[in-house]
Structure 1
Amino acid sequence: MIGVLRNRFFNFSHRVIKILRKINIFQRLIIAFLVLVILPTIFITLFTYNKYVNEIENNMEKFISLLVQNVNVQITDKLSSFEQLAVQFYSDSTTVSKLEDGVSESNRVIIGQKLNMIAHNNGYVANMLVITPRGQYSMMDEFGNRNGGYIRDIDRFRESQYYTEAIELHGYPVWFDTSKVSDVFYRSESIKYGMSDVITMTQAIYNIETREFIGVLVMNVNISFLTDSLKSYAFYGSGNTFLFGQNGAIMGINLNISEPNFSNVRNMNHLIYRVPEGSYSGKIDGTNVFMVYKLVPYTDLSVVHIVNKDRLLETAFNIRNLCLTIVAFLIVLSVVVAYWTTVSISRPLNKLMKAMRTFTEDKFVVNYAASGNDEITVLGEKFNEMVYNTKVLIDKIYVAEIKQKTLELNKTNAELNVLQMQINPHFLYNTLDIIRWESMYEAGGESKVSQMIEDFCRLMRMTIKKSEDMIPIYSELAHAQTYTEVINFRNREKIALTIDCSFDTNDYYIPKLTIQPLIENAIVHAFDDIVSQARISIVGSIESSDIVIAITDNGKGMEQGQLEELQQLLSGDGELKESIALNNVNQRLKLHFGERFGLNVSSESGVGTTVLVRLPMRQGVQSRMTHAIE
């Protein structure tokens, strides 16, 4: 396992070094300095800052959550004290029996005085009412005069949530935010606007023995009781604590005007009432805030504490900015130091490289002016020593070596000339012609041997004939036919060659030795020296302004892989392994006429192969077409 990891590391290092070697030394050293100094500094700064901020936020969330919990408990206790007042009312059997008797003037007075007595014992109770299915009971003084508020539209009240939710809770009290409600509870008939700055408790009253529903007790309590009793639980540091209801912020406790305020915030229900308790971090009225809230049980009231997050994290922001300033200074300093260090290395190296380039241009008088005591200076001194020794060596052996090379070249040329003379085609052709005549003399006339010699001599004559590079297509076809006849001498079963051209082959020209190598290639590769009903057909036609000559055999054909390799070779992408004749003809055609022309091969295994020769229409005597491009 360790060996595998070591090999992977070395391979990865090799690739990295290979990439770095493509960058010049100046840029390489600058990048190295920046990576080693800037990245760690930025990472440490941001990592430390994030850890610090997260720690502050976590501690603040715990502290504020505890604060909201304590305030919530105190509010619950305060509300419980008012709920005990309701117990005083419905625990009185006389009062309950009067409610069951029905609405009468005497009953109104007794019940009203009872409500008035309970309310006056607590200065924060603004009003108490009892609503039954048959009527309404208000507070009354000792003289039988109404002393509290009342509900104008009693039927509408019975359909409201104040009445229905109290019944649904079966005797448990429920509290509502009515601090901004002005059309339900009224202090007197003459006052136009309803009560405000109160919260309301409703509780269903039942017969203790029969558990039959009697009515709903309503209690309006001034919210000032919360302000007076919760001051000691307010957070005097960052942030503000609010009591929040369905209609928005009801009140604030020890508000700090420099901290976020809910007084002008609307539609907060989607944040606070999704779950009974939780927290929120985000923007409210353009201020980045952190808020913790908790719902008071059996009420629609929530205790909310909100802090300015930016103010809370101001110290962290200052530390972050200081660190970033230091990082910026270190970056500038690192760049300057990296520049000086890099220039001290790259500048003498560039001078040495310039001297080396001059040396490679055969200017042996070059000299590197060393300045310094580092390794580059030593390298420059060794270079000057090498230049001097090279100059001395050249002076000693250069002329002698040139003379030796000249002698060797002349000797090689002489040997080649001797070889060429030994196998001169004209000498061979003349010798064969003498042999043919001797054969005819011995046989007393034409014989099979003399005919074979005659056909081979004709083939030799066509090959050694001095002419232009371009010859009529007729002559090229005749050469191919003669070649086939010579080949047929060695085969018991002859190769059938058919020629069919739809144009006059005397009128158009083709590069010499174009078709014959293709015939030879077909005979060698298509039939594997085992000829049985072998056929080769040559079909010529004109397509647009091109001449197309198709050479088709009925040989063994090629497999798909062999065909693809050959096509890649002819397109210039493949590696030359075989089919030298085809590639040679293809390249000659492209050199003569351009990339659009040349050979195209199609083949099917067991069926045969077709080679298409495409060349432009050329009439008349052509001279030297090697630079002609279509």
Structure 2
Amino acid sequence: MRSFLPSLPAFSLRARLTFYFITLIIISLTVMGAGYFMKSSDVILANASETSLGLVKMSNRSIDATLAQVEQSAINMHLDEELFTFFNNTSLEDRSDADRRITRVLNKYFPSTEDVFSVNLVTKEYTFGETPNFWIPKKDYALSNIYQIGQRSTANTRWIPTYNLLEQFYSTSLTYTEKDQYVFTATRRMNFTAVRNNLLREMGENVERPILILNFQETMIKKAFKESLTIEGSFYQMFTEDGMIVSASGSLHDQAAVSQDWIRYAAAKRSGTEYIEINGRKMVVCFDTVNVTGWLSAVFIPYDNLKKTVPNMSAYMFYSTIFIILISVVLASFISGRITLPLKRLLRAIHRIGEGNFDSKIEPTGTMELNVIIHKFNQMNDKIHTLIEENYKTQLKEMEAELKALNFQFNPHFLYNTLNIINYLAIENKQKLISNMLVDLSEMLEYTAKNPGRVSFKEDLAYLQNYVFIMNQRFEGKFTISYEMDPQLFHYSVPKFFLQPFIENSLIHALDEMEEGGVIKVSGRIEGQLRVFTIVDNGKGMDPDTIRRVLESEDIPKDKFQSIGMTNVNQRIKMLYGHDYGIHIESQKNHGTTVTIRLPLS
């Protein structure tokens, strides 16, 4: 390798790129393959954990469906007319004789299943309903805490975690025996109602409300979680929000596998997967919440045992890496050829530009980076071509300006003296109108002789008013003109002759077919950092094509004001202030024209 690297510059660009690509690909794949191999087990473990969590959720949904049906049946039983008639009777006589009838009604709402241990309606004096699997006392049930909890459950069903019926009613011993019966209970106070004469009637105020008590086998939860314990050494526990064990794989008297703090944390999170340590052993805990009761179900899976279920990825990774490297060698050779082809085209184009051929264009091909280079090269070529053309046009304009300056370099005093002589003759012959027109014309000539460029807006407006006065004599009674100018505008300079061409256009073209009634409004205002001037007429208007030709100086009819026409004004504004400023024309045939001129304030 050391003897090979110094000889690389002797190879072509394509060969070097191919070598570099293959080297980078092999190194990258080796590193990525090793990293992927190391991480693949963790990824699969995470997927396995999610699968276990899915099983826990399925178990919880099964329990939720059963318990939700119980709650709905309890709600429906409130409207049972037979129970309403029976329990709305304040007399306690002969209630023991009705036990079979009440049991039949209870079985209608809560059919007997292997998961339901017993269903009872309990009053202070008697317990209605059968207890086929275990003897529940027919009397004195009201002394139990289960009955007291039911008395307080008026709005919804209260769920009581697992307890031993033997301890509840007959013994205080904590020693496990074969007669122990573990159940969890749903209870609520029943306020029966009935519809009489289209009215909903409730039980009398002094009538005792019975307590519904449903006892479920704790084994119901064990069966639900049997499918979730598929990995050796896994077990489950179900907790209340207070950390009390509701059900477990082992004995209910065993301690919780996790701390109270963790149970509160998981209950707040409601569902998820966590990695924890129990007695120094790493465990995966998949937990979910039973919606009906709010109890937390958790399946604990030994991490090592879960890892044993992950397939061996080493052989797969080895053969996959070899295959990808072979494919990459072929692709590297092809891609390097595709990359160098645009570079060769670029070199040929640079050579043509060096010979003065600026029309050379390269079609973008290759990678994104080469496309950017080619695009920028084409832009540079266009800009160089544009700059050369603009420089050539600028030189022509400068020569044309110099010729015009030479043509207009004469002393205007002869014209002023001549106009003054004519003015004196007009005054002697009492031709005041002619005298005023001569004075205005003289002022206009004096203003015209000033240097071009920017002038005081006050002077340019005076020139416009002199022009309007003379044209008003020519078109007597044909038009009226009004001015509305912000006085602040007089403090700024403007391009010379920037309003007059638009008034001339209105008179010569827009109002040429009107004998009278022509209206022209000239206004100026300041809007933020802009000076806005508006010329509005009620003439015949222009179509969009005419507006375009006016602004682009395309086939415009020539007249005596050609040198300072509308197109000239637009071009001078853009040259003086930039392309963000200039002229905007709005017009419709036979609906007049509005010309807006925007200049910067500064």
Q: TM-score range by the shorter chain?
A: 0.3 to 0.5
**Structure with the larger RCO, 1 or 2 (CA within 8 Å, 6+ apart):** 2
Bigger CA radius of gyration: 1
TM-score, normalised on structure 2? Answer: 0.36
TM-score, normalised on structure 1? Answer: 0.34
